[in-house]
Amino acid sequence: MTRLQTYQVFPKIPERLEFLEKLARNMWWSWRLDAIELFRRVDPRLWVQSNRNPLIFATMIAQKRFERGLKDDGFLAHLDRVQKSFEKEIETPVDYSQTPYGADAQVAYFSMEFGIHESLPFFSGGLGVLAGDHLKASSDLALPMVAVGLLYRKGYFHQYLDHEGWQQEQYPETDIFHMPVRRARDPQGNELIISVEASGGLIYAKVWKIMVGRVALYLLDTNIAENPPELREITASLYPGDSAVRLAQEVLLGIGGMKALKKLGIEPAVCHMNEGHCSFVCVERIAQVMEGKNVDLQTAMEIVPRSMVFTTHTPVAAGYDEFPPDLVRPYLQEYEKRLGTDVDTILSWGQTGEKFDPHVKLSMFVLGHNFSQFCNGVSRLHGEVARGMWNHVWPQRPVEEVPISHVTNGIHIPSWISIENHMLFERYLGPDWYSTNFDTDRAERIDQIYNEEIWRAREMSRSRLVRACRSMMVRQYGRRNAPKSVMKEVESVLDPEILTIGFARRFATYKRAYMLFMDPERFEKLVGSKDRPVQFVFAGKAHPKDHEGKDLIRQVVHFSRRPGMRNKVVFLENYDINLARYLVQGVDVWLNTPRRPLEACGTSGMKAAVNGVLNLSILDGWWAEAYHPDCGWSIGNGEEYKDHAYQDQVECRALYNILENDVIPTFYDRREGDTPDRWVEMMKNSMKLVLGNFCAHGMVRNYEKDYYLPAVRNHAVLTDNNAESAGKLVAQRRRLKREWPAVRIEPPQSDIEVPFRVGDRFSVDTKVHLGALEPGEVEVELYSGSLKSVDELKNSQVTPMSAAEDLGGGTYRYTCEVVCQEAGRFGFTARVTPRGDDYLKNAPGFLTWA
């Protein structure tokens, strides 16, 4: 058959209900339970059948349903309420000139994935869900933000299991008509098409726009007639195995994304790159700044990095993309002319050496980080791990001074809260708890909720999960044509009354899904207990190429088929946002067993905690900074091991000890009526923990305070007045480059023969040879701390030294005073850096130690 011409017919919605259509076309509905409820009310059965996609839903509804809605005044009042909120939160314009951003500054957020709702196949896992939550919170807080990504029709794979428990993958295509997208148009009203240069000619992409509350998300799509068939497939699915296609995607996202913004008339003041996939943004942004501000390459290279934010998400070096220079070269050809430099030089920006090396791959991390003054990991521990991992890029810096900080991830609570807890929060935190910043005061009100009320909410969520599991299991087994007797059994799996433990995450080996099964006897005893039984729900996908991960899934499935287990251990297929929501709301305990420190953050634990689900986890990622015995349990004390088999054994034993001695007894302690009061207290503490410290609103506020606003100011100052101050920075850097080789500093001296007492002071002197530089151009610092070993310090501290005497010939005596604050062995040394902002100080080569 030839290619079909297709068209779509939507129902005719009566005028009084027209808001429904507007609502369906803004993803805002997806985090407003009252809006979801509004759709559902039109036809509850079809709403579920449509997979909660309002556009599919609309095509299924009988016209007469709308007519009936017109006569239902309860429904109409509900509609009006939602419409009012929408007008207030989304349509009321914000006067940005009254905010610290100023009238036109915009933040552009780039990401390979966006997990907004299960109906949009633009994400694979945690990174994408985080990006989605970031946009939703930015919309709630009305930040001047736009976002850029790719439009995948097939997204990430759907998972199903065969008879043997082996994962199978399917890539169903989502119809573009079933996504609330519109073609993006330029200011003249033309449909937008952009192109990037490639080895075989141009790659074209059309640009779609989808509204996530107030935030416009632009998505590039190569499925366009201008491209030959093989190029149309570039944006078909997420993370293709072929690295050439991956590179093409990353070029489209970074270079194409920036070009799309330009054509839309958007010149971002700040670009935020969510992981190294977006790093090509730097190259195109430099070209745009050169052309738009009429400055040379050196000046643009002073402006761009000071208004760039880079977030890294993985603690494993193998998790970063790298490409052979020759593969990248054709994409950069156009920049020879636009930047006025050769491709080798541009390629060298993604390498760590001074000069371009044709045998070294281009690292997307190095490229992104090189051009970002603001760089962060996603939890405190991950920040530390990332600094250690990338210390080789700044060999002169002590590890704690590697310029990578952290902003701990947070979750967009309205997207993950159960309806039961939502109603409690509405009553106790206030009706607008949804869209406001949570603070610790507000969180304290959780304590006022009656224990019985919280516990009822918990039981309702658990029952809902059990019901959902049963219908999913029936579907799973039905598709495999399971015999009648088995079908009968799966119709009644799980028990809505008993302690339910959830484990849902990617089946990567380091997440160690096998840990529970390492001691099968102990496991069977837990599950088989008559008076204090436990049940387990598993879910998660393995990467299509990860055979080991798939084997882990198979093992779980086989275990669940043992006699006596089928009813108590289930594996649910196709872990996605919808299933995640059921799980983080419905289980009692959220189990996480990563091999520390490989879990960068682990946001699913936060989703669970805010629903009053207690975390039982290795002290890794966010849990390493959040854990407190009043809100959950830690497996071990944050140890790291060389011998992995030994580690597994130790931690498996610890896990079972906690389950048997703490978790199960606390859950079944029902002396006071039928609520386990200690458990409920821990539930409240978990909710408060996330409301106060780990919500996306707080996370976005942190990005704003530490990065966005300083970057906006940098951008304004540096581009003002024909980029005059950026020009000064160029001259400063040139001068420093020329003169720095002459800079030397002598070991600092002091009269420290006698032991000191706490409170004593002494002074330290050193001689610094500055060559042609002036003391006003440098900073001399005493670097001190307690001795870790003879040549290493910990708890280091930096004290500025001041020029005390001009010794002539470019040599100066510097001095400072040291106060002995506590007893112990201490050491110090001294160093010179340029005087300037962090971006200048962190430039390689400008740090000289004594």
Ligand X SMILES: *Cc1c(COP(=O)(O)O)cnc(C)c1O
Question: For binding to ligand X (CB under 6 A), which residues are involved?
Answer: 125-126, 129, 505, 575-577, 580, 602-605, 607
Q: How far is the CB of 634 from ligand X (least distance, A)?
A: 16
Nearer to ligand X, 363 or 615 (CB): 615
Inter-helix orientation angle 73-86/63-71, to 10°: 90
Q: How far is the CB of 409 from ligand X (least distance, A)?
A: 9
From the CB of residue 850, how many other CB atoms can be counted at a distance below 10 Å?
A: 18
Nearer to ligand X, 299 or 615 (CB): 615
- The distance in angstroms from the start CA to the end CA of the chain is 77
Sequence-distant (6+) residues with CB within 8 A of 796 are 398, 400, 783, 784, 785
Nearer to ligand X, 382 or 684 (CB): 382
Alpha-carbon gap, residue 591 to 581, rounded angstroms: 15
Write out 653-713 in H/E/C secondary structure: HHHHHHHHHHHHHHHCCCCCCCCCHHHHHHHHHHHHHHHHHCEHHHHHHHHHHHHHHHHHH
Nearer to ligand X, 125 or 834 (CB): 125
From the CB of residue 313, how many other CB atoms can be counted at a distance below 10 Å?
A: 19
Nearer to ligand X, 607 or 733 (CB): 607
Nearer to ligand X, 301 or 613 (CB): 613
Q: How far is the CB of 586 from ligand X (least distance, A)?
A: 14
Sequence-distant (6+) residues with CB within 8 A of 506 are 125, 126, 540, 541, 542, 543, 549
Q: How far is the CB of 621 from ligand X (least distance, A)?
A: 8
Strand 761-769 versus strand 744-745 pairing type: antiparallel
**Phi and psi at residue 287, to the nearest 5°:** -60, -45
Nearer to ligand X, 223 or 617 (CB): 617
Q: How far is the CB of 125 from ligand X (least distance, A)?
A: 4
Alpha-carbon gap, residue 220 to 332, rounded angstroms: 19
From the CB of residue 611, how many other CB atoms can be counted at a distance below 10 Å?
A: 28
Nearer to ligand X, 304 or 537 (CB): 537
Nearer to ligand X, 208 or 694 (CB): 694
| 744 touches 768 (CB < 8 A) | yes
Q: Supply the DSSP symbol for 91.
A: I
Q: How far is the CB of 608 from ligand X (least distance, A)?
A: 9
Angle at 229 between CA 223 and CA 231, to 5 degrees: 65
Alpha-carbon gap, residue 389 to 404, rounded angstroms: 11
From the CB of residue 804, how many other CB atoms can be counted at a distance below 10 Å?
A: 13
CA atoms within 13 A of residue 779's CA, in its CB half-sphere: 16
| 182 touches 208 (CB < 8 A) | yes
| 826 touches 785 (CB < 8 A) | yes
Nearer to ligand X, 379 or 833 (CB): 379
Nearer to ligand X, 575 or 703 (CB): 575
Q: How far is the CB of 416 from ligand X (least distance, A)?
A: 8
From the CB of residue 218, how many other CB atoms can be counted at a distance below 10 Å?
A: 23
Alpha-carbon gap, residue 769 to 775, rounded angstroms: 10
Q: How far is the CB of 121 from ligand X (least distance, A)?
A: 12
CA atoms within 13 A of residue 816's CA, in its CB half-sphere: 18
Nearer to ligand X, 576 or 651 (CB): 576
Q: How far is the CB of 617 from ligand X (least distance, A)?
A: 10
Give the distance, in angstroms, between the CA of residue 217 and the centroid of all CA atoms in the same chain: 16
| Rg from Cα positions in the chain | 29
Q: How far is the CB of 122 from ligand X (least distance, A)?
A: 12
In this structure, the chain runs to a length of 850
Nearer to ligand X, 167 or 766 (CB): 167
Nearer to ligand X, 222 or 314 (CB): 314
Strand 201-212 versus strand 193-198 pairing type: antiparallel
Q: How far is the CB of 464 from ligand X (least distance, A)?
A: 17
Nearer to ligand X, 227 or 603 (CB): 603
Q: How far is the CB of 631 from ligand X (least distance, A)?
A: 17
In this structure, is the dihedral angle defined by the CA atoms of residues 134, 307, 266 and 328, taken in order, positive or negative? negative
Q: How far is the CB of 387 from ligand X (least distance, A)?
A: 21
Q: How far is the CB of 541 from ligand X (least distance, A)?
A: 9
Sequence-distant (6+) residues with CB within 8 A of 17 are 66, 69, 70, 79
Alpha-carbon gap, residue 486 to 478, rounded angstroms: 10
Nearer to ligand X, 129 or 466 (CB): 129
- CA nearest neighbour of 509 among 597, 569, 595, 622: 595
Nearer to ligand X, 267 or 576 (CB): 576
Q: How far is the CB of 319 from ligand X (least distance, A)?
A: 13
Sequence-distant (6+) residues with CB within 8 A of 627 are 615, 617, 619, 634
| 412 touches 130 (CB < 8 A) | no
Q: How far is the CB of 318 from ligand X (least distance, A)?
A: 18
Q: How far is the CB of 131 from ligand X (least distance, A)?
A: 11
Q: How far is the CB of 579 from ligand X (least distance, A)?
A: 7
Nearer to ligand X, 214 or 313 (CB): 313
Amino acid at 164: E
Alpha-carbon gap, residue 558 to 252, rounded angstroms: 43
Distances (CA, A) of 352 to 391, 392, 732: 11, 9, 23
Amino acid at 708: Y
